[in-house]
Structure 1
């Protein structure tokens, strides 16, 4: 894995997502954090990703138990003043956890930025 590539990715999210608060990249199976960045010292993206990993695992299990032939692309959690997007890699090896200010972020643009970088991130985390 290229730490340089990961740092570029994290900074791209910080720069290109309006209302950016934090982002973390975490391996789904082990819970290992590949990296994270935040603009709010009171917001711990690694801890938030660890808790949200349980949401991802539960949803993956539910999809499997229901016999759905579907992939989870992302999970959206809307809070009163934040949006949290959990984006799952196509190979289901890692997740990207992103938090943004709901009053500043554009959901469509935020998803587009994530989608743009997800495939390259997957190649580099293999």
Structure 2
């Protein structure tokens, strides 16, 4: 699947507020859907670029021969999932914001993993 289809698939996840495909090396948002006036997806995606960079640096500093698959940030009303994409050479991630009251975290993580496996860049 292409990036546009991937973001549409991610937005079909129950409770999705917004989704972005982001290059964490440049901080650029390549595709996005959702968000709105109460949730600026561009700002959220850019801010989470720093989260990803920090975690990748931490793994390098620790000398761990491992990679980040995904990260979860829980807020009182939302879940924020960050999935580093395997086929991207390690520089892209999918960022998905979910309404906590309308979503199933396990199913959302599973679906992002499927999208990752099907995405062709």
Give the secondary-structure state (helix, strand or coil) at the position aligned to 1:47: helix
**5+ residue gaps in structure 2?**
none
Which is worse superposed, 94-103 or 32-41? 32-41
Rounded to whole Å, the distance in 2 between the matches of 1:112 and 1:92 is 19
Q: TM-score under structure 1 normalisation?
A: 0.88
Aligned position for 2:102: 104
Rounded to whole Å, the distance in 2 between the matches of 1:77 and 1:118 is 19
Q: TM-score under structure 2 normalisation?
A: 0.91
**5+ residue gaps in structure 1?**
none
Rounded to whole Å, the distance in 2 between the matches of 1:30 and 1:113 is 26
Q: Is the 8 A contact 2:35 2:41 kept in 1?
A: no
Give the secondary-structure state (helix, strand or coil) at the position aligned to 1:103: helix
Q: Is the 8 A contact 1:84 1:98 kept in 2?
A: yes
Which of 4, 9, 14 lines up with 2:6 in the alignment? 9
RMSD: 1.5
Q: Evaluate the alpha carbon distance shift between residue 39 and residue 54 of structure 1 in structure 2; reply closer, same or farther with a 3 A threshold.
A: closer
Matches within 5 A, 1:29-108: 29-38=25-34, 40-90=36-86, 91-108=89-106
